[in-house]
Amino acid sequence: MAEESISNGFIMNPVSGSNPPVVAKKKRNLPGTPDPEAEVISLSPKTLMATNRFLCEICGKGFQRDQNLQLHRRGHNLPWKLKQRSTKEVRKRVYVCPEKTCVHHHPSRALGDLTGIKKHFYRKHGEKKWKCEKCSKRYAVQSDWKAHSKTCGTREYKCDCGTLFSRRDSFITHRAFCDALAEETARLNAASSMHSLAAAGNFNYQLMGNPFDTGMPQHLSTVFKPISSCNDDTIDQTRRGFPLWMGQASQGQDSIGKSTLQEIQQFGSLNPGSIYGDPVVSTSNPPALDYQLNWVFGNKVSSGNAEDHQLTTSTSLPSSNVKENGSQLVSVPSLFSTQHQSHQTPPFSMSATALLQKAAQIGATSTDTSFLGSFGTKCSNSQDRNKYSDLYVSNTPTTTTLGSDLENSANDISTLNQLQMYPAKRRRMQNEDGGGGGGETRDFLGVGVQAVCHPSSINGWT
Amino acid sequence: MKVSSAKVSKESKVHGGHHKNSLHSKRRSHHSILPLQPSDQLDQWSSVTVDMYSNHHQPQTSHTSTSRSSDYSAGGGNNGEPSGTGNKWASRLLKECARAISDKDSSKIHHLLWMLNELASPYGDCDQKLASYFLQALFCKATESGQRCFKTLISVAEKSHSFDSARKLILKFQEVSPWTTFGHVAANGAILEALDGEPKLHIIDISNTLCTQWPTLLEALATRNDDTPHLKLTVVVTANIVSSVMKEISQRMEKFARLMGVPFEFNVISGLNHLGELTKEALGVLEDEAIAVNCIGALRRVAVEERAAVIQMFRSLGPKVVTVVEEEADFSSTRYEFVKCFEECLRFYTCYFEMLEECFTATSNEKLMLERECSRGIVRVLACDDDQDNEGECERRERGSQWSERLKEAFSPVGFSDDVADDVKALLKRYRSGWELAQPHQNETGLYLTWKEEAVVWVSAWKP
């Protein structure tokens, strides 16, 4: 009996089936699929909306329900015969909707229940008189409205990321933009982005290397800022010839990065010409920094070495820059931190101290700035850190790894890698067996900034 | 704190309105607004300045009277109003300075700028913040460096924004204030009603909302209709949005639409110099699509002379509905009268800043960033010439009634249904008190969002 109507029926969400389904997928009959033997009743809208359908034949009083009518009839003291209902079997009745445009107007889609057809008529074709106070949703049927009011506002929405919402609209908007939503696509993107970053690296190279428009140094300076305060400390201590991280592990975590970041700093602080060619140009070379660099790059650093010299001079620059002109240091740790994702990219407005503190934390959020976009998304994992600690602990990491990693790390430091200093660094690293750092994030020196966060790597130096 | 009589007398000597003019008339012969005049003329101000300065500093610690006496005038008179109650010392100083600039009164300008500089801070209370941002604009106006300053602000903003920061900012703002969501709900309601029953929808979005309007629309499309229509969303990017941000947004929107089960297509059009250049072809408008044009906070960025052309361009796309949301302020009709424009600008941003102050927590970073965003607009409106080709950075707002005049040239207004009005009211209930929905006046169209009974945002719907 249901077959004929399935084909033209609209589908409601199947709930638990009452009749065995004819089609495997549908769990219950479609509404409005009546028994073909049933008597089809078509009531006028007026009748449908009438509240007192059951009329007493004696006095004409109307009742909403049949039971009420029967109760009333008893009061008329009818003879026994008339008390009973007519004995003829009552045919099953189905009702059609009087609204011509409605699906249920056709007898084949009639509804089996009077209450049902009434509710249908109100819901679909009636005026929505009942309104929820909280969310202003409107209902034509009072029982619907009551049912809704009970649950309205009590429901809490939970996003995949764990945030709870009491408002549906803010939940929806959040959900659409939530990182949890984008997780899958991010993973896909990560794979493809390695290739794209190589290109991006070139682009960034352009940004870095060109005689800049005014924007770039500004940006770099913003990138470099927060390190300034801690760098001052670092430099003071290292000028005493004592690497910062010797004494304090936690602070030391930063210092390696800081010292390496000094390289990076110099890009911000130097003029374009000097970035390319001659890092030594603008500042002097405090010998203490050579010493500091030794610690950074391993025991093989000797100042006599041409490459070392180049390195040391370059690394020495930033410190003096720091000392000379603190104002040039703007926010290194943006770069710094995004490199090892230790914290979110700080808003432009954060104070140096706050940024510094964040830089010291090891976090897991990735950020994606336009310039630093390539930096942010590669998550540091423990494996990388271990690799990196190898860099410091044992002097026998695989140089080829380093070299190839440096070559291949199309991410964060690709821009810096492109710079002229890089080849020198790389050779240097290879000579020193300083390679092996986790392939993902490397600083200018190819050392890998992740180690900054990693305690064991610090200890490894000692 | 009421001023002692001695001070009053001194002030009235210097600062009575006409007194001021007579004093100033001697100094009118300047060639430029700045630099300073010889010190003898400054002496006259210095004592006043000291008074002013000390008076202004007192209120920080004392909250005495809350009366708003209005006898403050020229350059330094302070009748002891404590700024702690937010009583407009900034407003007065700023207006005075604006007048001085308009009068080209160099020494006065210098003094006021100096005073404002002393008192202003972007991290202080509302007055201090307003002083800070408007001081920047006044300074640029006085030194004619508005264009350069504006460009710097733009480039700084571009570089400090990422998808994450922008997203966080906008979502947080929407959470604490209905300033933007008001327009979203009303516009979505109008769009859904106008396009009801259409199988293929194409919405052309020219907004500053970073697509935060659309998730709720997608959800409504998915749940409301029996047949979910196909939605194509073409976003026209106005300036200052980095392309990587749009890329992130497009990914998320596509994914969300998939989640909702709405057939979806997302396109971005960027690099556009003038909105009027858009065409049907450029937007990918197809014949069988039902078009809606959604314009939020975008018309004000069109150069004033080009606005009529842009509206005609909208018409040429053949939309079924055009929704326009703009902030209620008039920087356009007064654009040749500096002082009037300044006062209107100050009024609007005072309202905005006070709103931010109330809606956000005191130390909110998002609030700070939103305030910073205003600095560009303020400098642009007050200190830049419109003649310069600024590629959609005009920021000259107009009131709803003014926009209506323009839009009536090509469209006729559509009222918002009761359902939509109810939705908006329900939305406002979810925020803290102070927000109301207001119907327009007799012959006007649209809906107004009011904050403390002052109309702040206007939304309207139009059909051809």
pLDDT digits (tens, 9 = 90+) for A309-327: 443 343 333 344 334 443 4
What residues in A contact B423, CB-CB < 8 Å?
Answer: 136
Q: Which residues are CB-neighbours of B461 under 8 A, at least 6 positions away?
A: B186, B187, B190, B194, B321, B322, B323, B324, B413, B414, B415, B416, B446
pLDDT digits (tens, 9 = 90+) for B306-321: 899 999 999 999 999 9
Q: How far apart are CA A25 and CA A30, in angstroms?
A: 12
What chain B residue is nearest to A178 in terms of C-alpha separation? B252
Question: Does residue B369 sit at the A interface (CB-CB below 8 Å)?
Answer: yes
Question: Does residue A149 sit at the B interface (CB-CB below 8 Å)?
Answer: no
Residue B369 has pLDDT above 70, yes or no: yes
pLDDT digits (tens, 9 = 90+) for A344-396: 444 445 566 655 666 566 544 444 333 333 333 343 444 444 444 444 434 44
At residue B225, the pLDDT reads 67
Between positions 369 and 408 of A, the ones with CB within 8 A of B are: 369-373
Q: Which of B226, B244, B249 sits opposite A373 (nearest CB)?
A: B244
Q: Which of B255, B256, B365 sits opposite A349 (nearest CB)?
A: B365
For A13, other C-beta atoms within 10 Å of its C-beta total 5
Query: What is the mean pLDDT of the segment spanning A275-293?
Result: 41
Residue B35 has pLDDT above 80, yes or no: no
CA-based nearest residue to B108, from B144, B75, B73 = B75
Residue A102 has pLDDT above 70, yes or no: yes
Q: Which of B152, B215, B365 sits opposite A176 (nearest CB)?
A: B215
Query: What is the mean pLDDT of the segment spanning A107-118?
Result: 80
| pLDDT bucket at B390, cuts 50 / 70 / 90 | low
> Where does residue A306 rank: exposed (0-12), middle (13-18), buried (19+ CB within 10 A)?
exposed
| pLDDT bucket at B230, cuts 50 / 70 / 90 | very high
Residue B399 has pLDDT above 60, yes or no: yes
Residues B299, B303, B309: CA angle, nearest 5 degrees: 70
> Where does residue B336 rank: exposed (0-12), middle (13-18), buried (19+ CB within 10 A)?
exposed
- Angle (deg, nearest 10), helices B214-224 and B243-260: 20
| pLDDT bucket at B55, cuts 50 / 70 / 90 | very low
| pLDDT bucket at B322, cuts 50 / 70 / 90 | very high
CA-based nearest residue to A221, from A268, A267, A262 = A268
At residue A124, the pLDDT reads 78
Question: What average pLDDT does the structure give for chain B?
Answer: 81
CB pairs under 8 A between A and B: 103
At residue A84, the pLDDT reads 59
| pLDDT bucket at B169, cuts 50 / 70 / 90 | very high
Cα distance from N-terminal residue to C-terminal residue, chain A: 86
Provide the 3-class DSSP secondary structure of residue A285.
coil
At residue A228, the pLDDT reads 40
Between positions 381 and 420 of B, the ones with CB within 8 A of A are: 419
Q: How far apart are CA B95 and CA B127, in angstroms?
A: 13
Determine the distance in angstroms separating the CA of A242 from the nearest CA of chain B, rounded to an integer: 36
Whole-angstrom CA distances from A66 to A69, A85, A114 are 5, 12, 12
As given in the structure block, the two tokens for residue B268 are 């971005």
What sign does the dihedral B99-B102-B107-B113 (CA atoms) show?
A: positive
| pLDDT bucket at A87, cuts 50 / 70 / 90 | low
Question: Does residue A13 sit at the B interface (CB-CB below 8 Å)?
Answer: no
Q: Which of B158, B162, B371 to mutate to test the interface with A (most CBs of A within 10 A)?
A: B162
Contact B164 A344 (CB under 8 A): yes
At residue B254, the pLDDT reads 93
Strands A138-139 and A157-158: unpaired
Q: Which residues are CB-neighbours of A347 under 8 A, at least 6 positions away?
A: B160, B165, B365, B369
Residue A430 has pLDDT above 80, yes or no: no
What residues in A contact B214, CB-CB < 8 Å?
Answer: 176
Q: Is A286 left (phi over 0), alpha (psi -120 to 50) or beta?
A: beta
What residues in B contact A174, CB-CB < 8 Å?
Answer: 171
Evaluate whether A438 touches A383 at the Cβ level (below 8 Å): yes
Query: What is the mean pLDDT of the segment spanning B204-229?
Result: 89
Between B238 and B464, the more confident residue is B464
What residues in B contact A175, CB-CB < 8 Å?
Answer: 215, 256, 259
Q: Which of B369, B419, B426 sits opposite A135 (nearest CB)?
A: B426
Q: Among residues of chain B, what percentage have pLDDT more than 90?
A: 48
**pTM for the model:** 0.55
Q: Which of B164, B253, B368 sits opposite A368 (nearest CB)?
A: B164
Cα distance from N-terminal residue to C-terminal residue, chain B: 59
At residue B280, the pLDDT reads 86
pLDDT digits (tens, 9 = 90+) for B68-100: 333 333 334 444 444 444 467 889 999 999 999
At residue B154, the pLDDT reads 86
Contact A170 B174 (CB under 8 A): yes
Evaluate whether B232 touches B203 at the Cβ level (below 8 Å): yes
As given in the structure block, the two tokens for residue B22 are 């007579």
As given in the structure block, the two tokens for residue B371 are 């305030």
Q: Which residues are CB-neighbours of A131 under 8 A, at least 6 positions away?
A: A137, A138, A139, A145, B422
Determine the distance in angstroms separating the CA of B143 from the nearest CA of chain A, rounded to an integer: 21
Contact A136 B181 (CB under 8 A): no
Residue B223 has pLDDT above 70, yes or no: yes
Question: Does residue B220 sit at the A interface (CB-CB below 8 Å)?
Answer: no
Q: Which residues are CB-neighbours of A13 under 8 A, at least 6 positions away?
A: none
- Percent helix / strand / coil, chain A, rounded to 5: 55, 5, 40
Q: Which amino acid is at B181?
A: T
| pLDDT bucket at A403, cuts 50 / 70 / 90 | very low
What chain A residue is nearest to B260 in terms of C-alpha separation? A176
Between A146 and A347, the more confident residue is A146
Evaluate whether B319 touches B293 at the Cβ level (below 8 Å): yes
Evaluate whether A253 touches A458 at the Cβ level (below 8 Å): yes
Residue B267 has pLDDT above 70, yes or no: yes
Stretch among A129-138, B203-212, B275-284 having the lowest mean pLDDT: A129-138
Residue A186 has pLDDT above 90, yes or no: no
pLDDT digits (tens, 9 = 90+) for A232-260: 444 444 444 444 444 444 443 444 444 44
Q: How far apart are CA B392 and CA B299, in angstroms?
A: 9
For residue A80, which phi and psi values (nearest 5 degrees)? -55, -40
Residue B327 has pLDDT above 50, yes or no: yes
Q: How far apart are CA A457 and CA A459, in angstroms?
A: 5
What chain B residue is nearest to A220 in terms of C-alpha separation? B159
pLDDT digits (tens, 9 = 90+) for B331-360: 988 888 899 999 999 999 999 999 999 999
Question: Does residue B114 sit at the A interface (CB-CB below 8 Å)?
Answer: no
Whole-angstrom CA distances from A105 to A3, A45, A92, A111, A456 are 19, 12, 18, 10, 78
At residue B303, the pLDDT reads 86
Question: Does residue A11 sit at the B interface (CB-CB below 8 Å)?
Answer: no
Residue B440 has pLDDT above 60, yes or no: yes
Mean pLDDT is highest, among A50-64, A142-156, A264-278, B326-340, for: B326-340
Query: What is the mean pLDDT of the segment spanning B409-420?
Result: 91
What residues in A contact B212, CB-CB < 8 Å?
Answer: 173, 177
What residues in A contact B159, CB-CB < 8 Å?
Answer: 215, 218-219, 222, 369-371
Whole-angstrom CA distances from B37 to A265, A364, B21, B29, B464 are 43, 58, 17, 11, 59
Between positions 20 and 39 of B, the ones with CB within 8 A of A are: none
Between positions 218 and 257 of A, the ones with CB within 8 A of B are: 218-219, 222
At residue A244, the pLDDT reads 40
What residues in A contact B219, CB-CB < 8 Å?
Answer: 172
The complex's ipTM? 0.75
Q: Which of A174, A345, A370 sits opposite B244 (nearest CB)?
A: A370
Question: Does residue B245 sit at the A interface (CB-CB below 8 Å)?
Answer: yes
At residue A355, the pLDDT reads 58
Residue B246 has pLDDT above 50, yes or no: yes
Q: How far apart are CA B264 and CA B254, in angstroms?
A: 7
Q: How far apart are CA A12 and CA A31, in angstroms?
A: 8
Q: Among residues of chain A, what percentage have pLDDT more than 90?
A: 0
Question: What average pLDDT does the structure give for chain A?
Answer: 54
Question: Does residue B368 sit at the A interface (CB-CB below 8 Å)?
Answer: yes
| pLDDT bucket at B162, cuts 50 / 70 / 90 | confident
Residue A423 has pLDDT above 80, yes or no: no
Contact A181 B215 (CB under 8 A): no
Determine the distance in angstroms separating the CA of A223 from the nearest CA of chain B, rounded to an integer: 9
| pLDDT bucket at A82, cuts 50 / 70 / 90 | low
Q: Which of A172, A181, A345 sits opposite B216 (nearest CB)?
A: A172
At residue B291, the pLDDT reads 94
| pLDDT bucket at B404, cuts 50 / 70 / 90 | very high
Q: Which of B148, B153, B160, B255 to mutate to test the interface with A (most CBs of A within 10 A)?
A: B160
For A144, other C-beta atoms within 10 Å of its C-beta total 17
At residue A350, the pLDDT reads 55
Between A198 and A66, the more confident residue is A66
Query: What is the mean pLDDT of the segment spanning B260-289?
Result: 86
Determine the distance in angstroms separating the CA of A418 from the nearest CA of chain B, rounded to an integer: 22
